[in-house]
Structure 1
Amino acid sequence: MSETLTLPSPAKLNRMLHIVGQRSDGYHELQTLFQFLDYGDTLHFTPRADDRITLTPPLEGVDTEHNLIVRAARLLQNACNVTCGVDIRLDKQLPMGGGLGGGSSNAATTLLALDRLWNLGLSNDYLATLGLSLGADVPVFIRGFAAWGESIGERLIPAQLDAPWFVVIHPGIGVATQTVFSHPELTRNSAPISMARAVEGGRNDCERVVRMLQPAIGDALDWLDQFGSAMLTGTGACVFCALTNRAQADSILHRLREEKNEGRYRDWQAFVARGCNTSPLHTALEECRSNMMS
């Protein structure tokens, strides 16, 4: 019986996001700080003797062949002329279209898992370049370190960020990234800043437009802002607030549950997580290597 490899597929937050320009190809030039969370999806990979790639369960509204997990597996299979396949099972926790990088994280976990499972021995540089064709956020999940990101977000420099606890709220609606980036009122000319300045604090240039497009996200930002400095991650829909300790975060979550029981914010989903400067995926992979050597 084939051994199944189980790995996390963590969420990320954009601790700030400035848009400093727009390229001739339509892509936006960004400056952002990526940080991982100790919360996310889980993927299970079981090798097959044939070349089939399967994914269960199917995600509602997403054709399986278009799922980034399957696309990542086929991309690697074709790039390296792999003749074996894999059965993949996804335990989904992250909301789709939430700005937490769920699809990109799934793709990165798939590339790193199959590199190991298929004994390819590829470098992270190669996998990050391959992953970029699937999405601009895939490389940061491949690299596995909190990072200062520039260009479209793929030019990465390691960043040492504080690692507070976070409350993350998804208001129960989605945001189309393309709609935000094509909006005529989106700020596209923020002055570039240094990484050191960004670490001290920044804003998300998408927030004003997202508030206009989806007032419910503005409601979540305003509610969370009473406990600290609330911010949008990516283009949303998720919003977050950094807290000093777990007890503070749990208290806010408890407050939200009480208000939901009173009939308010019924569509909101929330969780508590810790910030990580090393991806939980890479921690798990290192544990796998250590176990093999012991």
Structure 2
Amino acid sequence: MSPPRLDAPDSAPAGTGWSRWPAPAKLNLFLRITGRRADGYHLLQTAFQLLDWGDTIHLRPRADGRVQRVNDPGYGVAGPDDLVVRAANLLRSEANVSEGADILIDKRIPTGGGFGGGSSDAATVLVALNRLWRAGLDEDALAALGLRLGADVPLFVRGRSAWAEGVGEALTPMALGPAFYLVVDTGVSVPTAELFRAPDLTRDAPAATMCGSFSGLVPGNAFEPVLRRRAPVVDDWLRRLSQLGPAALTGTGGGCFVRFGARADAEAALAQLPAGSRAIVAGGVDVSPLHRVLAAGGA
């Protein structure tokens, strides 16, 4: 199956009772590994930038308690095993909810690209169904549920661009200011666990400070040299993008980006890429589009 379009339009689910909720992508502006915990988990430092581009989750409550994904988003995961279904069932159980939900995903974020698509989709389901089901859980409780689903889920539950430490769950909101990103899907997806096991991965980088990172003194992604050696297409893309500006890898996937101060500059850079490139211009935001919808009263 072909990958989803990065700019795919929203679908219009058949029937009544549907609501529409954004699930934004993220970038890791840098990522370093400073050590390991006793349980083997790696200790990270990163700055998460939320974007104004991502997936859309459509939800429709059901009275019969059943939770189901009603479409095939194309990433090869069966409905009952999908993180969005697991998120809904976890919320149902923890909040003692009797209702169920239909879930439809408009997929734009490439799977395995390091843009946080699966985590964001799950977080949106938690946050939106908490409201639709009137479950009454606060943000801390939802973030704790999210952490049981994945390390990046709390970021999207809290909905603020942030400095992160620990395994990525210790979040401090950051005001990163206006920025526009040329985002590229290289098509490379390597299992995160495999990258963390790589013998050439640097695991003892010195700890940075928020001030140092924000001023650009802590560039780089610990996984970039590993991926460049293992996936020549990533190396090729980073070389190409470096001609347009400071190019970087995001997360533990093959996704790359270049930061610009103005949308026009990012659009001009996009126009210089080869025809058929899987690329898009997205704006950085300090507050998640999901939380803007919540603040406005719902979808």
Unaligned runs of 5+ in 2: 1-14
Letter in 2 for 1:105: S
Pairs within 5 Å for 1:37-76 = 37-60=51-74, 61-76=76-91
The residue that corresponds to 1:242 in the other structure is: 259
Corresponding position of 1:98: 113
Q: Percent identity?
A: 46
TM-score (norm 2): 0.91
Greater helix proportion: 1
Q: Distance in 1 between matches of 2:106 and 2:225?
A: 33
Aligned 8 A contact 1:5 1:113 in 2: no
- Trace 1:1-294 onto structure 2 (pairs within 5 A): 3-60=17-74, 61-201=76-216, 202-256=219-273, 259-260=274-275, 268-288=277-297
Q: Is the CA contact 1:170–1:238 (under 8 Å) kept in the aligned structure 2?
A: yes
Give SS of 1:97's match.
coil
Structure 1: tracts of 5 or more residues without a match? 261-265
Return the alpha-carbon distance in structure 2 between the equivalents of residues 149 and 48 of structure 1: 36
Q: TM-score, normalised by structure 1?
A: 0.93
Query: How large is the Cα RMSD of the aligned pairs?
Result: 1.3
CA contact (8 A) 1:12 1:36 kept: yes
**Distance of 2:190 and 2:253 partners within structure 1:** 6
Q: Distance in 1 between matches of 2:177 and 2:215?
A: 10
State the Cα deviation string for residues 212-269 of structure 1 (Å, max 9, x = none): 121111111111111110000001210000012111111121111xx23xxxxx5x41
Partner of 1:263: none
Structure 1 runs (4+) deviating above 4 angstroms are none
1:166-220 CA distances to partner (integer Å, 9 max, x unpaired)? Answer: 0000112212111111100100000001111011122111101011121111111
Cα deviations across residues 77-135 of structure 1 (Å, max 9, x unaligned)? 11122111111111101100010000000000000011001001210000000110100
Where 1:133 maps in the other structure, the secondary structure is helix
Shift of 1:162: 2.6
Give the Cα separation in 1 of the matches to 2:16 and 2:180.
38
